[in-house]
Copies of this chain bind each other. A is one copy, B any other.
Amino acid sequence: MPPIRLYELVIDNGLSMSPFVWRTRYALAHKGLPVECVPLGFTEIAPRFAGRHKTVPVIEDGGELVCDSWVIADHLDRAYPDRRPLFAAPGERAMVRFFDAWFSGEILRRCFGIYALDIHDAARPADRPYFRKSREARVGLTLEEFVAGREERVGAVREALGPLRRHLGDGPFIGGDAPNYADYIALGGLLWIAGVATVPLLAHDDALLAWWQRGLDLYDGLARDARLRPLAG
């Protein structure tokens, strides 16, 4: 079959760095579907789709454009029912939705307050003014003010990760014996951070790191990259 085209967001060093694109990359690998990545900077997304889509991931699958990581996940299970399902039962999908609500609200939101300026600094020079202007308007502060005192807020994220840490005492992956879409959500979030972080998120002995390494090993080391910065320190 022809590869599915995946539009992704890249920073200046070429790394893919959207937590939502990473979910989709893992989802495509989970289903064993061939993929062709198209890197875009922040300011290239809207022009590329003539304003119809302003965020990635976007996939092009047989001429059809599909946008939004959850819409894409559902599309993939519907369009490729013969491949390994992302959601084996409606209840699994619902519980992964809960996981996403938890992870996005409790972890990613807090991380943005720690890494917003790092993202700016790692972005392609042409994208930085747009990133600064749009995000400063959203938070009502300069990026520098927004991340001030961030070292003291790292501890709150480590504590908020408690339920995930306790859960991974149960098995190798969030999804159990095998990874599921919840693993891809969490790995995507941490890859976003590891792409830009100038302060480590986790302590060097965090029990989550064993799972993180297993995640980087998935699908022939899909996400493993020497340009990733240390997630722990």
A residues sitting closer than 8 Å to B (CB atoms) are 87-99, 101-102, 105-106, 162-164, 166-167, 170-171, 173-178, 180, 182
Contacts and interface: CB of A to CB of B under 8 A. Distances in A.
Contacts of A163: 98, 101-102, 105-106
Nearest to A166: B101
A171 to B, nearest CB: 7
A91 B180 contact: yes
B91 A175 contact: yes
Contacts of A170: 94, 97
Contacts of A96: 91, 95
Contacts of A164: 98, 101
Contacts of A171: 94
Contact of A167 (B98, B106, B162): B98
Contact of A95 (B98, B106, B162): B98
A224 B163 CA distance: 30
9 contacts: A89-B89, A90-B176, A90-B178, A92-B92, A95-B98, A95-B99, A101-B163, A102-B102, A106-B163
